[in-house]
């Protein structure tokens, strides 16, 4: 197991333990509240009440943003896997092919590989005939294009992280307007149900907006660092492989040496004079 996978495993264990501790804490809090005789909604009733409080405008809007964030997180997780950027066994196979001076096979191997490393090597090898520096520049330009594409996708998580609290603020203001409109129309007799609906709408929309924003902020920072790490590793490996291929192409093939069991033929000697 690599050091990187070990770090991810320890992080997953920490998050699992934290979630279990939070769940146990909430469970005991509900039990204590029920023991005190405080009337509480069940979990299903609370969820349905929150969904109704969102309304027909903010509910579908926040749901669409949540689905978009989930899709971005899954897409970036698949794109930024180390196995998708640098396929296992590719470097060793490519190096062995280059050392055998099979440059056409090495180029086909890189061109047929859809990974980050395959795309960068293909761009660099296509310019290798014009010199090593030209090949490095073409490879780095391709790598910057890949990095820019992933950063553009990751920027949408930052947009979602900003939109969440803003939509929550709009919902809060709208809910308070509803609550104060009830107070303005009721006169001396206040309808507590209508008043509670406006306040609940304000609080629930704020809750869902912040709940969307928190994971979006985390994943934006996580994937920003991940993109930097993956592109740096791909750039270093691609530069090493291009350099190795360039120097191998400049070497002259060595002629086969005679085996130890055979002797080189000697020139015939002239017969001695009588």
Tokens of 80: 């930024």
For the cut 60, the answer to whether the pLDDT of residue 97 exceeds it is yes
Quote the pLDDT of residue 41: 57
pLDDT above 70 as % of the chain: 74
Of 173, 170, 177, 176, residue with least CA distance to 199: 176
- Residues 6 or more apart whose Cβ sits within 8 Å of residue 158: 216, 217, 220
Cβ(45)–Cβ(53) below 8 Å: no
111 CA to centre of own chain: 24
Taking every pair of C-alpha atoms in the chain, what is the biggest distance, in angstroms?
A: 150
Cβ(106)–Cβ(249) below 8 Å: no
Quote the pLDDT of residue 150: 92
For the cut 80, the answer to whether the pLDDT of residue 85 exceeds it is yes
Is 159 buried (19+), middle (13-18) or exposed (0-12) by CB count in 10 A? middle
Quote the pLDDT of residue 100: 86
Of 136, 140, 143, 145, residue with least CA distance to 245: 136
Q: Tens digit of pLDDT for each residue in 231-264?
A: 999 999 999 999 888 888 777 655 454 444 444 4
Helix (H, G, I), strand (E, B) or coil at 114: coil
Spatial separation of the C-alpha atoms in residues 143 and 241, rounded to whole Å: 15
44-53, 120-129, 201-210, 227-236: which range is least confident on average?
44-53
Spatial separation of the C-alpha atoms in residues 239 and 123, rounded to whole Å: 12
For the cut 80, the answer to whether the pLDDT of residue 88 exceeds it is yes
Q: Is the pTM of this model over 0.85?
A: no
Q: Tens digit of pLDDT for each residue in 200-220?
A: 888 888 888 889 999 999 999
Quote the pLDDT of residue 247: 85
For the cut 60, the answer to whether the pLDDT of residue 172 exceeds it is yes
Quote the pLDDT of residue 57: 81
- When the pLDDT of each residue in the chain is averaged and rounded to a whole number, the result is 78
252 CA to centre of own chain: 44
Quote the pLDDT of residue 17: 55
Rounded average pLDDT over 62-89: 90
Tokens of 56: 């027909």
Integer angstrom CA distances of residue 52 from 127, 202, 211: 61, 12, 17
pLDDT above 90 as % of the chain: 28
Quote the pLDDT of residue 151: 93
Q: Tens digit of pLDDT for each residue in 55-71?
A: 788 888 888 999 999 99
């Amino acid at each position: 197991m690599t050091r990187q996978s070990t770090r991810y495993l320890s992080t997953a264990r920490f998050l699992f333990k934290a979630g279990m501790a939070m769940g146990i804490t909430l469970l005991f809090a509900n039990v204590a509240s029920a023991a005190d005789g405080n009337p509480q909604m069940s979990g299903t009733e609370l969820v349905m009440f929150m969904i109704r409080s969102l309304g027909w405008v903010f509910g579908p809007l926040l749901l669409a943003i949540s689905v978009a964030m989930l899709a971005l997180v899954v897409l970036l997780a698949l794109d930024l896997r180390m196995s998708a950027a640098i396929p296992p066994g590719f470097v060793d196979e490519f190096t062995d092919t280059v050392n055998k001076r099979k440059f056409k096979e090495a180029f086909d191997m890189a061109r047929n590989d859809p990974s980050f490393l395959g795309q960068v090597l293909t761009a660099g090898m296509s310019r290798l005939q014009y010199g090593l520096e030209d090949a490095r520049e073409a490879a780095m330009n391709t790598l910057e294009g890949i990095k820019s594409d992933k950063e553009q996708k990751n920027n949408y998580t930052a947009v979602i992280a900003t939109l969440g609290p803003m939509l929550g603020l709009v919902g809060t203001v709208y809910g308070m307007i509803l609550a104060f409109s009830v107070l303005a129309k009721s006169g001396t007799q206040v309808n507590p149900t209508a008043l509670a609906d406006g306040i609940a709408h304000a609080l629930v929309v704020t809750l869902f907006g912040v709940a969307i924003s928190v994971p979006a902020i985390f994943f934006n920072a996580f994937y920003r660092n991940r993109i930097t790490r993956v592109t740096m590793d791909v750039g270093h490996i691609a530069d090493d492989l291009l350099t190795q291929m360039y120097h191998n192409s400049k070497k002259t093939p060595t002629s086969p040496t005679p085996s130890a069991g055979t002797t080189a033929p000697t020139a015939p000697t002239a017969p001695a004079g009588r």
